[in-house]
Amino acid sequence: MFNENVNVHIELTDKCNALCSMCGRQYIENGELKRVPTFDKNELSITEIRNIFDNRFFEKFNLHRINFCGNISDPITSSDFTSIVEYLKPHCKRIDIATNGSLRTPKYFKNLANILKDIDHRVTFALDGLEDTHSYYRINTNFNKVIQNAKAFIDAGGNARWQFIIFKHNKHQIDTAKKMSKELGFNKFVSIRTQRFARADEWTFTHKNKKYKLEEPDESLSFEISGDVKCKAKKDNEFYLDYQGNVHMCCYLGGSYLKKRFNQNEDAILEWYDDRENNAIENDLSDILLKSEFFQHLQNSWSMLPSTSCKRFCSKKNLRKKLYD
């Protein structure tokens, strides 16, 4: 399934300081936003990362791009994060990081820039609006704190990207945010729509006695799901490693695996997934990538009976695309 120049998406922890309402960390019950109580307990340590990405792995694979991101966590919550980046840096060509940017300090981000500036890299800061709108979705984060951290990172030589998720409540601010991103030294500004609206019919809830209503920026584009799956992970030769060391094809299926534990999984393909055989703490990572039966079953499923995630995220006719730039 995987050739030797491999990319990896790593979710280091199950922790986050934010309370974004559409994130899998949260759910809405009786109109109240609630936090899933089982998270905030796990992270891969530097020792585990060293053992997973060991000499045996590097004899068989070259790591091209490492993407520290995730489904339900922020990489900056990792207590070993900078040590992990420093350990993996000589073994890869590029490091990307996605963060809400509202944890840690300008000093931390300055140090991160110093670690990254001699390698191709990009840190994406989630800034969904301006001071008055940003926290409407990214509850528990602070716009000015994110800007201070991003500024420290940029001023120390870091390559930063501003990512703006467009909602009805912030769409009028795209141009101002884009202008601000240039003035602050961000090298890129992207405005995107989220697919998370598809998870529920309505996003109305209260949190700390405040009422919220999240709405699509425009009339919703429908999914057109064909069975015609083009696997992004296979195309990019990328796998996803979760915070417990489980190896998945991609973060979408990793997310389905998480739901399986809460009996909410929609992906029948995961019946084939054995988390003992595909765990890189218990097994050799290169053996998993080269020999896992699951990846073979998954590959076969695309032409026969693709999973819900494969159809939703990698159907050729999926119409949900980036609308603005």
Q: Which stretches of the chain bind ligand SF4, using CB under 6 A?
A: 16, 18, 20, 23, 25, 72-74, 100, 229, 231-233, 249-250, 252-253, 298, 309-310, 313-314
**Cβ 231 to ligand SF4, closest distance in Å?**
3
- 89 vs 232 by CB, closer to ligand SF4: 232
Nearer to ligand SF4, 8 or 250 (CB): 250
Minimum CB separation of residue 325 from ligand SF4 in Å reads 22
Bridge partners of 32, per DSSP, are 29, 206
Q: Nearer to ligand SF4 by C-beta: 279 or 309?
A: 309
H helices present in 138-250, as ranges? 143-155, 174-184, 232-236
Burial of 204 (0-12, 13-18, 19+ CB in 10 A): middle
Nearer to ligand SF4, 115 or 127 (CB): 127
Nearest one of 100, 138, 321 to 214, comparing CA atoms? 138
SS3 285: helix
> 35 or 50, CB closer to ligand SF4?
35
Q: What are phi and psi of 301, to 5 degrees?
A: -65, -30
Residue (50 or 316) nearer to ligand SF4, CB:
316
Whole-number minimum distance, CB 54 to ligand SF4, in Å?
26
Please give the structure tokens belonging to residue 268. Answer: 């029948």
Taking the complex as a whole, how short is the minimal distance between the CB of residue 59 and ligand SF4, in angstroms? 26
- Kindly state the smallest distance separating residue 79's Cβ from ligand SF4, in Å: 17
Q: What is the full DSSP assignment across 35-52? A: E-TT-SS-B--HHHHHHH
- Which residues make Cβ contacts (< 8 Å) with residue 203, sequence separation at least 6? 21, 22, 28, 197, 212, 213, 214, 215
Nearer to ligand SF4, 188 or 232 (CB): 232
* Closest separation in Å from C-beta 25 to ligand SF4: 5
> Closest separation between CB of residue 87 and ligand SF4, Å?
23
Q: What is the DSSP letter of 195?
A: G
Q: How many CB atoms lie within 10 A of CB 153?
A: 29
Residue 243 near residue 13, CB atoms below 8 Å: yes
